[in-house]
Amino acid sequence: MIEAQDINYEKSVLIGVITKEQPEEKMKEYLDELEFLTYTAGGEVLKRFVQRIDVPNPKTYIGSGKMLEVADFVKEHEIGSVIFDDELS
C-alpha cells in the first residue's frame, strides 16, 4: 500500500521592481521564472510584491513604505524566504 506524505514547502515571497530599464512585462517574466525556480527548490510563493520606482533604493532595494508592507506580511504569514529579482550586496 502507498502511504501519503505531507510535504511542507518553505513559504516565500517574491519582490520585483519596475524601472525605466526594466518594464512591467519583463519584470513579470522574471518573477514567473523565479516562482518556478522557487517551486523546484521546494518553496511555495505566497505573494509577489512589485513596486514602480525610478531607481532602486541602495539600502533596501524597495521604498520604505513597501518594505514595511513586506515586513508585516512576512511576520503575519511566517515567511521563510524573501526572494528579490536582483543581485543584492
Task: Please compute, for residue 29, the number of CA atoms within 13 A of its CA located in the half-sphere on the CB side.
Answer: 5
DSSP secondary structure of 3-63: PP----PEEEEEEEEE-SSS-HHHHHHHHHHHHHHHHHTTEEEEEEEEEE-SS-BTTTBS-
Percentage of the residues of the chain whose pLDDT score is greater than 70: 92
Sign of CA dihedral 80, 76, 17, 36: positive
Domain ranges of the chain: 10-84
For residue 45, the cross-strand partners are 12
Residues 23-59 have pLDDT tens digits of 899 999 999 999 999 999 999 999 999 999 998 888 8
Location of C-alpha cell 511566517: 78
Mean pLDDT of 55-65: 89
Query: What is the pTM assigned to this prediction?
Result: 0.86
